[in-house]
Amino acid sequence: MTLLDRRKSTLNALEQVHSCYLQLVLLKHHEHDAFESDDFEYLYELSENERVLVEDINSLMKYVVPDLLYLRNDSRVRYLMSEIDVLHESVIGDTIEVKKTLEGKMHLTLNRLRNLHTYSGYSSNAAPRIVNIRA
């Protein structure tokens, strides 16, 4: 394989990685919307899609990294790598934000559950009264 072929295959793989990161950024926006609307089933589905995309990125990068050493001074490779870095930082920031917000909601729910027994009044009657039920 010539250096030109390696460059072409490396650029192709980097463009695929870039595309995967764009999809991840879009998924993070959908995750944020699902989280705001308390649609946790959709949030779980999005996290599964995110996992698949991350696996794709890892499998692509596994073969590209050795060629990046040879092509590190190529302008197109450097441009794509800088774009990927920006998208990667964005995905990490969005992930941290969603995690912190989710942890906050979990602590709020836990505190509400702990205080639930404090505010509930107990009846002196052993059995509840049945009030005039008519068909």
Q: Is the dihedral of CA 100, 104, 110, 113 positive or negative?
A: negative
- Which domain does 102 fall in, by range? 10-117
Interior angle at CA 19, CA 16 and CA 23, nearest 5: 140
Q: What is the mean pLDDT of residues 122-126?
A: 57
Q: Give the residue among 91, 6, 9, 16 at the shortest CA–CA distance from 56.
A: 16
Share of the chain above pLDDT 90, in %: 40
Share of the chain above pLDDT 70, in %: 84
What's the whole-model pTM score? 0.74
- Amino acid (1-letter code) at residue 30: H
Domain count, the chain: 1
- Amino acid (1-letter code) at residue 104: G
In a domain, 66, yes or no: yes
In a domain, 100, yes or no: yes
> Can you tell me the distance from the alpha carbon of 129 to that of 122, in angstroms, rounded to the nearest whole number?
14
> Can you tell me the distance from the alpha carbon of 67 to that of 3, in angstroms, rounded to the nearest whole number?
9
pLDDT tens digits, 44-53: 898 899 999 9
